[in-house]
Structure 1
């Protein structure tokens, strides 16, 4: 799907009176947008708000310039400055749409005096601002408790508080599963439904839910480690079948609270874990009953899975997997926007960057592990598997999904395995070098699609 959008430059002018509704448009832009000189009264829509105006074609430079009276900018809750937007004219509605207005909802410490800090995605928010400002649109960050009252907009390198416009689309980057399940957040989501504002990546994913959705696709079964809900019976079953198993929380992230069991002989196992309270036990040998009793307090009132361990290729004797970042584009198709090899820190069995892992270019690593002949073929296979996985997961969700991080391991034969799928992938693993990264550009594209293509939103 190709949206016929035109980039416009919007500048403020002093109003002649407080009710000034005259918007001046360059002759070139007037023609490019397909506006009609016989009907100069039209609605201008920005975000979810529309204002009745009178448009006037005039000689202006640059050729895509629009001049707005300051009072209309104020009605749209925009700062008084120049902007770039994407625009499309809906002749049947006599409406000129400007956008996208892109809101990011997250949780961060409340501050009355100081500039806010958006925790692990702070730098990424700056990147999104610069990316959308460059191509046309408006980006801001807000907490769901302050929706429609206060947001933060980057101005001269500082996040400034202001009453924000009603967004076309909202990107969910809440950091906490617990917060997403809270009554206030559910009320916020209901409000968005009432206002018909799409929220994408609306929740964290459950490992068990993801496994079951992929398990339904028979062609993916060879790429899925055998996985069951943790019980004592399943512990015995999987350890009897495999040399190594992993025990993971169904709702977990960043490599936390994972246990690795390895068979040392017919009856003894070693335990390796990222759980601090169990670390002193990691060098001992245990019977399975002892292990179950040892970890049972950790499992109290929480669901864990137990999963087949795969012997994966390593790098410099360190555990390794690959993070493949997938996004939907303007055509509503999944694409791979980034892939990195994640190398675990020494003495760690999880490769998460949050636990000291490092990143390397995937092709370089695969050439070292599998040889140059197989490396490109394996990389291509991983990308295809990631896009197929993203498509299946997004089609299985009730809401809108536009971004997924897919963790893939590669075994000694070069076969990829789907380890995990994340709806809130880390933004710290790509090497941006100060540029707008492909992942940020893809998110902006997807928001543009959601903002301007109303049929897409209705279909979802």
Structure 2
């Protein structure tokens, strides 16, 4: 049985009283002695009737953790009569590297944080930010919105932890892995568990009958570079752990040598090399980590500028994957990748497609791209270790209208959406996923 109410807590000296409107005490199966559960934290309380017409539950407690819960305008409660328990939720924390209020205000995702907090408060839930230092140190402190600004304080462990740690090195550290294991053992649903590397994604998808013909030929390491250049005359080299359009090179074989475009290694761009040996020696000097070599598909362009499409996929309340948003990305004038972090701009996908194809063809291409995204998301989630509930998928279109899967990101950018006055789809998807997870867990 679920109810929606507002919640406020106050610090007192020597008791734990939960004040409940009298009309609810009469109508719903509250008992005098119950356990209040917020996130993964528990408190034994005495339920007291109040003669008020408001839909507010108030907690007087000497417990510092529960007393620190900020006022919640809307929160769901679920009454578990069998275990005499009152569940509050959903409680969702977003894990991020920054830890101070100053860095939160200047964070590139600050608007996204604010939207999450606003939407959870509106729909019924508690959203807060969990700094990496608190997560690893098991300090139980987070940043919550107090109505005017973000504030630091002790907070209950969440039901759902959304991992936005932006360092692969940090995620591989023993302290992070220990904290991750502690969270999972505590019944917290952690997503997305970690970064995905490009070779990991390719190996998971390459044998799929549906997806294999939509993947460019890809080989790990530089040992096959000369062979692929001879075969295709045009290839991309990508760092397997690269992100935001960085650590990418495009190399074209020409009669006079080799032509390279790159965006991360040298201010000189483009570069030319008279022989393969000269090219290879430069690559070996730059590429001190793992790279992929991938055939270049001649994708469509807009006014001569590279074009691709970003689809945001999310698990819904039924744990099925769905596309929640999509944009067309057009590269900036001096770039060879259509990435927003490299200066690219975004447009509505159908509008861009309809400048190249007929309306009917454009709709069919959009449909096929979405179907590929759903299939890829489902396959990755089922085959990879860890839990994933949100993926960003990049797709390019060739001149025949055939879609090709370029890349899949487990921590997609929150900048790739068309700004308007509404709450962005990824925020709504996070809430629906979290609510369903909390509901299924507490029932």
TM > 0.5 fold call: yes
Stretch of structure 1 that moved more, 222-231 or 180-189 = 180-189
- The equivalent residue for 1:10 is 7
- Structure 1 unaligned segments of length 5 or more: list them: none
Alignment of 1:208-219 (within 5 A): 208-219=199-210
Q: Hey, which of these two has a bigger chunk of strand by percent?
A: 2
Shift of residue 270 of structure 1? 1.0
Alignment of 1:241-390 (within 5 A): 241-265=231-255, 268-277=257-266, 279-280=267-268, 282-300=270-288, 302-390=289-377
Q: Name the CA shift for 1:26/1:287 in 2 (closer, same or farther; >3 Å).
A: farther
**Equivalent of 1:142, from 120, 130, 148?**
130
- The equivalent residue for 1:220 is 211
CA distance in 1, matches of 2:215, 2:79: 48
CA distance in 2, matches of 1:424, 1:146: 21
Shift of residue 117 of structure 1? 3.7
Shift of residue 294 of structure 1? 1.5
Q: Name the CA shift for 1:444/1:26 in 2 (closer, same or farther; >3 Å).
A: farther
Q: Name the CA shift for 1:115/1:436 in 2 (closer, same or farther; >3 Å).
A: same
TM-score (norm 2): 0.93
Query: Per-residue displacement from partner, 1:75-102 (whole Å, max 9, x unpaired)?
Result: 4253453431112222222212111111
Shift of residue 30 of structure 1? 6.0
**Equivalent of 1:237, from 199, 210, 227?**
227
- The equivalent residue for 1:46 is 38
CA distance in 1, matches of 2:125, 2:384: 28
Shift of residue 56 of structure 1? 4.4
Shift of residue 323 of structure 1? 0.4
Assess if the C-alpha contact under 8 Å between 2:11 and 2:62 holds in 1: no
- The equivalent residue for 1:411 is 398
Query: Per-residue displacement from partner, 1:267-317 (whole Å, max 9, x unpaired)?
Result: 73211111242x5362425332221111111112x1100001101111121
- The equivalent residue for 1:178 is 169
TM-score (norm 1): 0.89
SS at match of 1:275: coil
The number of residue pairs the alignment matches comes to 440
- The equivalent residue for 2:115 is 127
- Structure 2 unaligned segments of length 5 or more: list them: none
Assess if the C-alpha contact under 8 Å between 1:153 and 1:161 holds in 2: yes
Is 1:169–2:164 an aligned residue pair? Answer: no
Assess if the C-alpha contact under 8 Å between 1:78 and 1:165 holds in 2: no
Assess if the C-alpha contact under 8 Å between 1:128 and 1:440 holds in 2: yes
**Equivalent of 2:29, from 18, 24, 35?**
35
**Equivalent of 1:81, from 46, 71, 90?**
71
SS at match of 1:21: strand
Query: Per-residue displacement from partner, 1:118-137 (whole Å, max 9, x unpaired)?
Result: 63222211111111111111
CA distance in 2, matches of 1:197, 1:422: 23
